[in-house]
C-alpha cells in the first residue's frame, strides 16, 4: 500500500477514495479500497491506496485522536509512504475540534512541519483564497454551513479556526506562490517554522500544483481535492501501474435512506418524493419507540422496484425544534441506529442496491452492512456525481452509494440506482 487515508467520516472517505481511484488523465488512479473503521487484519495484496473511514468528525476530541492514531498505526504497518488526513471540504468542526487536534496528533507522530491544510474542492464550489474558505461565491460563514446542526461553521478564516483548535502556529501559502508553480510551493512549505500551512487553491490546476509540491511528504491534510494529483506521483515513478476503475454492475432490490439536513439533500428528497414512494420519518415517534426499523423495512418492501425513499431531512427550523425537545446528540444517535438496523434487515432480505445520504447516517449504515456481510473493505467503482462513487462489497454482490449531504445533482437518487445496474 502506497497512500493511506484517515477520513473523519464515511462519505468523506468515499469521496477521497473516488479521487484516488480515478486519478487524472493520462495516468489514471490507484487500486483503492475503503475500510469501515480500522481493520483487524492485513490489507489484501494489490491494494495501492487504503482509506480508513472513521466516525470521528463529531466524536469527543480524545476519542477522535485515539481512533486516528490507531488508523495511522495500521496504515504504517501496511507500508504506506504518504498519509492523508481527510476532512470535509467545508472544514466541519466544532470550536474544540476535531480537525485541529487530529492534525496535530498526526503531525507530531510523523514529526512533520509545513503540513498542507487545504479543503478546496473546486468542482463542488469549495475554494480557498487568502486563507479563507469559500462555497461558490459565498464565504463559508455565509453559505448555510453556519446553520449545520452538529458542526456550525461561523468563521471562514481557516488559519483562525485551526489556530483556535491547536497549540500550533498556522502559516499561509498564498495564491501567487501557488500560481508560480510546484517548486515555489515546496520551497515555501520547507521554509516554514509553523506546523501547518493553509494553502490557497481556486482551481483543479492549483490542486495539481500542490500535489506535485508534496510528492514525498509524509503527511498532507485536506478535502478530497488534495489527492487529485497524488496517484500520478507514484505512477510516474513506476511504483504504481495506474489505470481505470473496475466495476461489475448488479440488479436487485433497492432502497434509499436519507438522514442529511443539508439544502442539497432536501432538494434531492423533494425531487425524488414527487416521483417515487417516500416516507418522512416521524422523529418524535422514533424517540418514544413507537416507530421502529421494522416499519421502515415494511415500507421499503411494499414499494420494491419503485426506488422507495425513507428520509429524516428537515429544515433548519424543524431540526432545531426536534433537538430542543430531545437533545441534539440523542436524536442523531437514535436516528443513526435506526438507519443501521434497517440496513442490516435489508441485507438479510437480499437487498443489493442501497443509496445513503448524510455523513453520520452513511457511517452507521456502512458499518452495519460490513458487519452483516462480514467484510472489511469496499472497492471503489465509477463516479456517480463529483465526489460520490459506487462502492462494491462482498465481491460486488452488494452495491452502496454514500453521499455527503451537500453533494450530488437534484436527481442523484435515481441516477445512483440506475448506474448500479449499468456496465459503465
Cβ 199 vs Cβ 128: under 8 Å: yes
pLDDT of residue 395: 67
| Whether residue 259 sits in one domain with residue 231 | no
Least confident of 7-11, 70-74, 171-175, 338-342: 7-11
Residue scoring higher pLDDT (59 or 149) = 59
pTM assigned to the model: 0.86
C-alpha cell at 93: 468542526
Alpha-carbon distance of 370 to 232, in angstroms, equals 30
Q: Residue 217: how many CA atoms within 13 Å on its side-chain side?
A: 28
Strands 82-86 and 219-222: parallel
User: What pLDDT, on the 0 to 100 scale, is given for residue 10?
Assistant: 87
249 within domain boundaries: no
Q: Give the pLDDT confidence score for residue 380 in this predicted structure.
A: 92
| DSSP strand pairing (82-86 vs 115-118) | unpaired
What total of structural domains would you count in the chain? 2
CA distances from 298 to 279, 291, 306, 310, 373 (A): 11, 12, 14, 11, 21
Q: Is residue 246 part of a domain?
A: no
156 with 304, same domain? no
Structural domain that includes position 141: 3-236
Separation of alpha carbons 347 and 65, rounded Å: 32
- Output the domain CATH number for residue 43: 3.40.50.10840
pLDDT at 424 over 70: no
Res 139 pLDDT > 70: yes
Residue 243 maps to a domain: no
Taking only the tens place, the pLDDT of each residue in 335-377 is 999 999 999 999 999 999 999 998 889 989 999 999 999 888 8
Among residues 204, 236, 268, which one ends one of the domains? Answer: 236
Residue at grid coordinates 435512506: 257
Same domain, 281 and 395: yes
**pLDDT at residue 365, as a whole number:** 93
Amino acid at each position: 500500500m502506497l497512500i493511506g487515508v484517515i477520513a473523519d467520516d464515511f462519505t468523506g472517505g468515499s469521496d477521497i477514495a473516488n479521487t484516488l481511484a480515478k486519478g487524472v488523465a493520462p495516468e489514471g488512479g490507484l487500486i483503492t479500497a475503503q475500510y469501515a473503521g480500522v481493520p483487524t487484519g492485513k490489507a489484501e495484496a494489490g491494494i495501492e491506496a487504503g482509506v480508513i473511514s472513521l466516525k470521528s468528525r463529531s466524536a469527543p476530541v480524545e476519542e477522535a485522536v485515539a481512533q486516528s492514531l490507531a488508523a495511522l498505526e495500521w496504515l504504517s504497518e501496511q507500508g504506506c509512504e504518504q498519509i492523508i488526513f481527510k476532512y470535509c471540504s467545508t472544514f466541519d468542526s466544532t470550536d474544540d475540534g476535531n480537525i485541529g487536534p487530529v492534525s496535530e496528533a498526526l503531525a507530531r507522530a510523523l514529526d512533520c512541519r509545513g503540513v498542507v491544510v487545504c479543503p478546496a474542492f473546486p468542482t463542488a464550489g469549495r475554494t480557498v483564497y487568502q486563507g479563507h474558505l469559500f462555497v461558490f461565491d459565498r464565504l463559508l460563514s455565509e453559505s448555510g454551513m453556519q446553520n449545520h446542526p452538529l458542526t456550525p461553521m461561523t468563521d471562514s478564516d481557516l488559519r483562525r479556526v485551526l489556530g483556535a483548535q491547536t497549540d500550533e502556529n498556522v502559516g499561509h501559502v498564498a495564491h501567487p506562490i501557488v500560481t508560480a508553480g510546484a517548486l515555489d510551493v515546496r520551497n515555501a512549505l520547507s521554509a516554514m517554522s509553523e506546523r501547518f500551512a493553509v494553502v490557497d487553491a481556486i482551481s483543479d490546476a492549483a490542486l495539481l500544483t500542490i500535489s506535485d509540491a508534496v510528492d514525498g511528504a509524509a503527511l498532507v491534510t485536506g478535502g478530497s481535492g488534495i489527492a487529485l494529483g497524488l496517484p500520478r506521483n507514484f505512477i510516474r515513478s513506476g511504483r504504481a501501474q495506474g489505470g481505470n476503475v473496475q466495476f461489475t454492475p448488479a440488479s436487485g432490490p433497492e432502497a434509499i435512506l436519507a438522514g442529511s439536513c443539508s439544502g442539497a439533500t432536501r432538494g434531492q428528497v423533494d425531487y425524488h418524493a414527487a416521483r417515487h414512494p417516500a416516507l418522512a420519518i416521524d422523529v418524535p415517534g422514533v424517540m418514544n419507540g413507537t416507530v421502529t426499523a421494522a416499519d421502515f423495512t415494511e415500507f421499503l418492501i411494499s414499494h420494491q422496484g419503485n426506488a422507495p425513499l425513507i428520509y429524516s431531512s428537515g429544515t433548519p427550523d424543524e431540526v432545531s425544534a426536534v433537538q430542543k425537545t430531545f437533545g441534539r446528540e440523542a436524536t442523531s444517535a437514535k436516528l443513526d441506529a435506526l438507519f443501521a438496523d434497517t440496513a442490516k434487515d435489508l441485507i438479510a432480505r437480499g437487498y443489493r442496491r442501497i443509496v445513503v445520504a448524510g455523513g453520520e447516517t452513511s457511517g452507521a449504515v456502512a458499518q452495519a452492512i460490513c458487519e452483516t456481510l462480514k467484510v472489511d473493505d469496499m472497492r471503489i467503482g465509477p463516479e456517480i456525481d463529483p465526489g460520490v462513487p459506487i462502492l462494491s462489497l462482498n465481491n460486488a454482490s452488494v452495491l452502496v452509494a454514500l453521499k455527503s449531504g451537500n453533494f450530488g445533482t437534484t436527481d442523484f437518487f435515481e441516477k445512483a440506482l440506475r448506474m448500479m445496474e449499468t456496465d459503465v
